[in-house]
Amino acid sequence: MAKPAPKTNQLDNQPEEANQTESGQYASGQSENISSPIHGVPSPNVRDLNSTSQPTKNEAGSVVASPLRWRSTDIAVGAALGVACGVIFWGFDFVYPLLSPLLGAVLPGLSSLLHGFWYFSGPLAILIIRKPGAGIYTNLVGAILEILFGNGYSVISVFLPALAEGLLADIPFAIAKYRKFTLPRSVFSGFFIAIFYGIYVLLTRLQGVSLFSVRGIVSMICEIISGILIAGVMSWFLYLAIARTGALDRFASGRAVKSRK
């Protein structure tokens, strides 16, 4: 004869069910804001903490580097560009004294039309590398090479303008958070440098010339023209020419030119 099954107390199952209910609520509460037991202050979301402390990842789960972060290739290309520009600066140090008197004989202050060849490297470097400080880095490398080769200018008169010009070259691109690289921004980059360099020349090399004199006005106008045409427009088309050779295919600047075809 089969024994009757022992009677179970319904109260015995309640703690287990309660534990399951509490554990289920806790598991689901991990993805929500959980109130702190102290003063009922909500604790930060776990996912929010992870999103601010971990690098950004793509859909495949690999870490995506910031587009503004310098890479080793950026440093190498910036150095090579600085060396090339430094050679141009150094050569122009000897060409300018030959051309300046000829232009000055036509109209005093007209020689400022050539000054853009001393500071076109800033806009060009930013257009190619597209990183904050690219103009400063390339300018300083070029200035170092120019000094090592030897010229008729002091170290301070070479370094300080190079630093300021590189900083000013960044302004139009920094305003757009280094997301837009266009001809107008390159022109404004050259324009800002020209304003600085025109005032710098009047204060250091033409101390006896007033800004509001005929020569001062002509010099400043020619400086702005030089900054726009040489440092702005010429740098833009020089960047396009370099990109079309395929030398910048590993850079966003090179891929942007390729995509336009």
Per-residue pLDDT averaged across 77-97, rounded? Answer: 93
pLDDT of residue 208: 80
Instruction: Answer whether residue 60 shows pLDDT above 70.
Output: no
Helix 134-149 vs helix 72-106: crossing angle, to nearest 10: 60
Per-residue pLDDT averaged across 24-42, rounded? Answer: 44
Tell me what the pLDDT averaged over the chain comes to: 80
State whether residue 87 is helix, strand or coil. Answer: helix
Give dist(CA 156, CA 160) in Å, integer: 6
Nearest by Cα to 134 from 178, 87, 88: 178
* CB contact at 8 A, 248 and 257: yes
Per-residue pLDDT averaged across 66-76, rounded? Answer: 88
pLDDT of residue 239: 96
pLDDT of residue 157: 86
pLDDT of residue 64: 53
Domain ranges of the chain: 72-259
Per-residue pLDDT averaged across 174-188, rounded? Answer: 94
Instruction: Answer whether residue 238 shows pLDDT above 60.
Output: yes
pLDDT of residue 41: 45
- pLDDT digit string (tens) for 112-147? 999 999 999 999 999 999 999 999 999 999 999 988
Per-residue pLDDT averaged across 204-215, rounded? Answer: 86
pLDDT of residue 195: 96
Give dist(CA 170, CA 24) in Å, integer: 55
pLDDT of residue 5: 46
pTM of this prediction? 0.73
- Residue 122 exposure: Cα atoms within 13 Å on the Cβ side: 36
pLDDT of residue 170: 95
Contacts with 117 (C-beta within 8 Å, 6 or more apart), sequence order: 88, 89, 92, 230
